[in-house]
Structure 1
Amino acid sequence: MQFTISIPKNFPAMTVKEALEDYFLIPRKIRHFLRTKKHVRVNNQTVNWQSPIVAGDLLELRFDTEDYPEKSLPLGDATLVEELYQDEHLIIVNKPEGMKTHGNDPTEIALLNHVSSYVGQTCYVVHRLDMETSGAILFAKNPFILPILNRLLEDKRISREYLALCQGHPKQDNMTVRHKLGRDRHDRRKRIVDSRKGKAAITHVRLLEKIGPNSMVACQLETGRTHQIRVHLAYEGHALLGDPLYSQKTAPRLMLHAQKLSLTHPFTLEDIRVTARSASFEHYIEHMKSEA
């Protein structure tokens, strides 16, 4: 596995050592292999570990099989994948509702398997969407970029915006929900607001439109807890339509869709922004408007 990265003009000044350790987050053992095997080159030259990397340089990294052993996955159906963006290192696709992001056991086929079949190599989950949720979702195409994308997610530098159709009308056009979330002791599928033992969870909610007795809202995640939007809105008295766990109001599907995803590419510093659409989500919204 070999990568050649063209250092963009806005890349922060650093040494080879700093780049591998602090920016690319390469584990110590693998950094040792890169150094002893002389598998790091800049502009086609073997470099000192303290050599600087500057704009315009070509950084070459070569990994052996033992550095990153390939993970084996059963391949899925490539025709089920709707690509929103793809390059050498990552892919963003539009997940349909009713499909798991990844399987619970090695033989279960899910979106991860379909994406791996689509790109022709094993991919890796960066974040997940609930099975009932549709929309934009990001996968790493190699284990090299995976920890970097994970760090961007933890540092809140991957932005995700959801559309949701919820019951009632929020009292404010903009609100931030900060209830801590934990597991439901009585139902392992569910999450609950738990102010004592729960983990921090922050959702920013913006009212977009009132549709009869319901509301279309945009939700921006600051954290990514399981069922976060669903539980937060339900606790505020605005459960999502079609939610099989937290709502009594039926709909053909869970009315939650990950509409937008954006990030700055860690290697090219390119701003990547995608918008995902869902025919089933949009069709039901139009139906509700006609009924209102």
Structure 2
Amino acid sequence: MEFQIQLPDTFQTMDIRTLLEREWLVPRKTRHFLRIRKGVLVNGDVKMFHEEVKSADIVTLKLEKSDYPKVSVLCGNQRFVEVLYEDEHILVVNKPFGMKTHPNQPNETNTLLNHVADYLAKDNQVPYVVHRLDKETSGAILFAKNPFILPILSRMLEKKELHRVYQAIASGIIHKNEFTIDKKIGRDRHDRRKRVIDERGGKRAITHVRLVEVDKQTNTSKLELILDTGRTHQIRVHLQSIHHAIIGDPLYAEKFTSRRLMLHARELSFIHPFTKEQLIIQTNDTLF
């Protein structure tokens, strides 16, 4: 297994040890074997860890299969995969509503992860989940195409460097143009499927809301939402807590008045960890 990455023009000169450890999050054991095997090349030449790399350098890592053991994912059907963006390392697809992101049982094959596995099988690759969407939610979702980039993307998610914009249609007329919901969310002790506002024992959750349009005829409000945190059912619980549950929500709406949950992950944006290019990826479909 070999990875070749050209450092971007904005790259700040550093030694190879720092690049592998702090920028690319290569595990300590893997770094050790790369050093022993002389598995780091810069512009085609073997380099030591104390040597520096600079912008436009081409860094090649010669890895063994044992450095990043391949996981096993059962294949579904790639016809369910709508690709929004793809390169050597990452894949963004549009998840349909009603489809789970990943299996909960070992023999499941009808989740998005299974379908993406079938799509990548032609290149002998498997997908790795970076973040999730609820089964009832549709929209853009990011997968890593190899285990090398997975910890980098996971750190970006943790540091809030993956920005997601959602669309929702909520019940009732909302009068504020912009506002923020900052309420802690915890588990519902009476229903394991649900989450509740729990200011004492919950985890902090912040949702920024922008009113797009109100429809007085249907008594609904079209919203754009941006998350500072990624708690389970965050948007759904936050909107329900201000008495504007999402239309079609089978768990949190008082009346189930739609064939689907009207919540859609419309846009995903981030700085590519290797090219440093700003990526803004939108779905082809929208709620409004």
TM-score range, shorter chain: over 0.9
- Please say if 1:150 is aligned against 2:157: no
Q: 1:199 aligns with which of 193, 203, 228?
A: 203
Partner of residue 229, structure 1? 235
Q: Is the 8 A contact 1:73 1:106 kept in 2?
A: no
Partner of residue 182, structure 1? 186
Partner of residue 216, structure 1? 222
* Aligned-partner residue type, residue 65 of structure 1: K
Instruction: Give runs of ≥4 in structure 1 deviating > 4 Å.
Output: none
TM-score of the superposition, structure 1-length normalised?
0.94
Alignment of 1:92-107 (within 5 A): 92-107=92-107
Post-superposition CA distance 1:114-136 (Å, at most 9, x none):
11111222110000000000000
33-42 or 80-89, which deviates more: 33-42
Partner of residue 288, structure 1? none
Post-superposition CA distance 1:174-193 (Å, at most 9, x none):
11111011000110000001
Q: Is the 8 A contact 1:94 1:136 kept in 2?
A: yes
Aligned with 1:150: secondary structure?
helix
* Aligned-partner residue type, residue 243 of structure 2: G
Q: 2:270 aligns with which of 263, 267, 270?
A: 263
Partner of residue 168, structure 1? 172
Q: Cα RMSD over matched residues?
A: 1.0
- Please say if 1:274 is aligned against 2:278: no
Alignment of 1:114-133 (within 5 A): 114-120=115-121, 121-133=125-137
Residues paired across the two proteins, number: 281
Between the aligned partners of 2:238 and 2:160, the Cα distance in structure 1 is 19
TM-score of the superposition, structure 2-length normalised?
0.95
Aligned with 1:206: secondary structure?
strand
Between the aligned partners of 1:47 and 1:194, the Cα distance in structure 2 is 53
Identity of aligned residues (%): 52
Aligned with 1:11: secondary structure?
coil
Between the aligned partners of 1:126 and 1:62, the Cα distance in structure 2 is 24
5+ long unaligned stretches in structure 2: none
Between the aligned partners of 1:132 and 1:73, the Cα distance in structure 2 is 22
Between the aligned partners of 2:210 and 2:97, the Cα distance in structure 1 is 23
Between the aligned partners of 1:106 and 1:122, the Cα distance in structure 2 is 16
5+ long unaligned stretches in structure 1: 286-292
* Aligned-partner residue type, residue 108 of structure 2: E
